[in-house]
Chain A
Amino acid sequence: MSADTQTSRPHATGIARAQTPLLIVGIIGIVVAAIGFVTNAPEFYRAWLPAFIFWFFIPAGALGVLCLQYVTGGEWGLLIRRPLGAAARTLPLFLLFGLPIVFGLQYVYAWANHDIVAHDVLLSRKSVYLNPTAWIIRTLVYFALWTLWAWRIRILSLDFAKTRSPYTELTRRRWSAAGLLMIVLTLTTTSVDWVMSLEPKWYSSMYGIAFTVSAGLSAFAFVTFFLTLLADNPAMEGVLKPMHFRDLGNLMLAFTMLWAYTNFSQFLLVWYGNIKEETPYYLKRMHGVWGWMAAALVLFHFFLPFFMLLMRSIKDRPKTIAIVTVVILIMRFVDTYWLIGPAYGYEHFHFSWITIFAFIGIGGLWLAAFIAQLKGQTIIPIHESWVDEALREGTLQREAVRHA
């Protein structure tokens, strides 16, 4: 695994160069957003949440997709295993990013506001589950589980690279299978605690799976976009192939359809039931600018990526699939804002400038952390047995090329 093989190919992808600029951008974003905190603290807390949730989707989904890859195997995960693992290991950082919300809990969630709960029978009954202490404990448990799984899989992988013991691989597969269950269950409860409870009197049993699928789609779109950035990188020559983009495109297509399926099913049930406790959720979100956002979600979160990802000529080429991933990521933010924004009860559409800087701040810091985790790792998991097979068949070239 020595990096000093005698070829003219570069041994590093050079991603580390972006780390410091991203860190600086992130810090600037946080500092500017902090001005919002000084001038209007309640607004700051509410504006922080959508940016936090948007970025959170990516590492949360990455942990799920990583577990999926370790359970099923397959060459679609060849080039994304390392980025997915790196993203998943940044999850503890979100405990820090989420801290402002903990301090402003009463401004964000109605159930955390004593004055509201005291005068509302339903909310005071619900406070057995929806109360600040329980919410904080649950959130800490989620982070503990995610961190445990992300690092356990990492440690098992390192162990496997050293010993090549099939038992280690089996243990990793078992952790991953359990991890899939864990991530779906914890993301379901996370969706209730962090987002759905913004409107504490409304509930939908479809919400959790829609949230989980959104995380998976965010992760796929992010890692695919990351790979398209490396498409012309000489270090990736002979490794990154149209086939990989096609596989990832197909998986993104499946997740795009799942996203539409779960969200439409939820809408259909509320629309068909036509009960006054449920319909206000959608009436709010179909009114004015929120309504235009809903239409944009139908067109650009589903139909556009759906038809683009049906075409091989788009999936196979890095430049064209990059467009699809950017469309999906932008619409992921629109979707997140459309879920959260209307819940705050403003009369009309409302978007705070603080959200923009929270988005830049969390994003910059997170991307820097992602690169820090990815740095120094080989671009493909070269010790895996099925990679050996691909090398023998000549579909892959092996060299110790690293992300650095």
Chain B
Amino acid sequence: MAIGKIREGLYGVIAEFHDPQALLDATNAVREHGYTSIDAFSPFPIHGLAEAVGFHKSRLSAIVLGMGILGGLGGFFMCWYANVVSYPLNIGGKPYNSWPAWIPITFECTILLAAFGAVLGMLALNGLPMPYHPVFNVRRFDSASRDKFFLVIQARDPRFNLDEARALLKTLGPREVTDVPW
């Protein structure tokens, strides 16, 4: 039964490398050939790999800032509404609008919503949680979390041509080049 099968056809072509430098060189070479929909997999962070894959600034910082401002305004409004409008109490003869006392809550709410924005926004932009990914169809991909390095050219790339992609990857000194079905 094809439970995991969500789509017919080809996801891309994957190449396996033995060491991080080979992966980095191959990634740069593939980018130089004009491919843009590529992804690299490594058991540990490699300096310069994110740039080689063409990683760009995400919208995450804007989400975090927006949520932070929302949290700050929301926290302050909550205090103001409770103390001035909804249930004014005379505390120590202070004016109802005693804003310095609300700064800690305003600050905490800013941090709280910014942190939620950062975590949930990161998950959403990464498309997580993602229990299934086509590269799992490649049997040897398990070792991407141990000691092997992988580079994928995706079929959705406008320049993608199966034979050309296979041929290009084979010139880059991989251990193996495999098709990745959806």
Query: Which A residues fall within an 8 A CB radius of B?
Result: 264, 267-268, 271-272, 274, 310, 393-395
Cβ-defined contact, B103 with A272, below 8 A: no
Complex CA–CA separation, A310 to B64 (angstroms): 11
Residues of B within 8 A of A394 (CB): 47
**For the complex, is B131 an interface residue (Cβ under 8 Å from A)?**
no
Q: How far is the CA of A271 from the CA of B100 in the complex (A)?
A: 8
State the main secondary structure of chain A at its contact with B.
helix
Across the interface, name the chain B residue whose C-beta is closest to A268.
Answer: B100
Kindly provide the distance from the CB of A293 to the nearest chain B CB, expressed in whole angstroms.
18
Q: Are A393 and B100 in contact (CB under 8 A)?
A: no
Per-residue contact bits, chain B 80-122, to A (CB 8 Å; 1 contact, 0 not)? 0000000000001010000011011000000000000000000
The docked-state distance in angstroms from the alpha carbon of A272 to that of B92 is 9
Q: 5 new A-B pairs (CB below 8 Å) besides A268-B101, A310-B65? A: A267-B100, A272-B100, A272-B101, A274-B92, A393-B47
Q: Which residues of A contact B92 (CB under 8 A)?
A: 272, 274
For B107, give the chain A residue with the smallest CB separation: A261
Q: What residues of B have a CB within 8 angstroms of the CB of A268 in the complex?
A: 100-101, 103-104
Chain B interface residue count, CB cutoff 8 Å, equals 8
Least CB distance from A301 to B in Å reads 16
Cα separation A274 to B47 with both chains bound (whole Å): 56
A271 CA to B104 CA, complexed, in Å: 14
Contacts of B94 in A (CB 8 A): 274
For A310, the chain B residues whose CB sits under 8 A away are 65
Does the CB pair A264–B47 fall under 8 Å?
A: no
Q: What residues of chain B lie closer than 8 Å to A393, measured between beta carbons?
A: 47
Nearest CB of chain B from residue A131's CB, rounded to whole Å: 37
B103 touches A264 (CB 8 A): yes
B47 contacts across to A, CB distance below 8 A: 393-395
User: What residues of chain B lie closer than 8 Å to A395, measured between beta carbons?
Assistant: 47
Residues of A near B103 (CB, < 8 A) are 264, 268
A-B contact pairs, 16 of them (CB 8 A): A264-B103, A267-B100, A268-B100, A268-B101, A268-B103, A268-B104, A271-B100, A272-B92, A272-B100, A272-B101, A274-B92, A274-B94, A310-B65, A393-B47, A394-B47, A395-B47
Cβ distance B104 to chain A, nearest Cβ, rounded Å: 7
Q: For A267, what are the chain B residues with a Cβ–Cβ distance below 8 Å?
A: 100
Name the distance in Å between B100's Cβ and chain A's nearest Cβ. 5
A394 to B100, CA, bound (A): 51
Q: How far is A310 from B69 in the complex, measured between Cα atoms in Å?
A: 14
Interface 0/1 of B41-70, CB less than 8 Å to A: 000000100000000000000000100000
In the complex, residue of chain A having the shortest beta-carbon distance to the beta carbon of B65: A310
Q: How far is it, in angstroms, between the C-alpha of A268 and the C-alpha of B47 when the chains are bound? A: 46
Residues in A whose Cβ lies below 8 Å from that of B100: 267-268, 271-272
Considering the complex, give the chain A residue whose CB is closest to the CB of B101.
A272
Contacts of B101 in A (CB 8 A): 268, 272
Bound Cα distance from A393 to B48, whole angstroms: 11
Rounded to whole Å, the gap between the CB of B16 and the closest CB of chain A is 23
Bound state CA distance, A393 and B46, in angstroms?
A: 9
Min Cβ gap B23→A in Å is 14
Residues in B with CB closer than 8 Å to A271 are 100
Task: Specify the chain A residue showing the minimal Cβ separation from B92.
Answer: A274
Which single residue of chain A is at the shortest CB-CB distance from B68? A310
User: B69 to chain A: closest CB distance in Å?
Assistant: 12
Nearest CB of chain B from residue A243's CB, rounded to whole Å: 11
Min CB–CB distance A272 → chain B (angstroms) = 6
CB distance from A281 to the nearest CB of B (A): 15
In the complex, what's the smallest C-beta–C-beta distance from B108 to chain A, in angstroms?
12
Task: List residues of chain A with CB within 8 A of the CB of B104.
Answer: 268
B133 to chain A, nearest CB (A): 29
Listed from nearest, the 8 A-B pairs whose CB atoms lie closest are: A271-B100, A268-B100, A393-B47, A395-B47, A272-B101, A274-B92, A264-B103, A268-B103
Question: Could you say which residues of chain B place their CB within 8 Å of the CB of A272?
Answer: 92, 100-101
Q: Closest residue to A264 on the B side, CB-wise?
A: B103
Nearest chain A CB to B45 CB, angstrom units: 11
Residue of A nearest to B20 (CB): A393
Q: Give A393 to B103 CA distance when docked, in angstroms.
A: 46
When chains A and B are docked, how far (Å) is the Cα of A70 from the Cα of B103? 35
A393 vs B24: C-alpha distance when bound (angstroms): 13
Task: Provide the bound-state CA to CA distance between A264 and B94, in Å.
Answer: 18
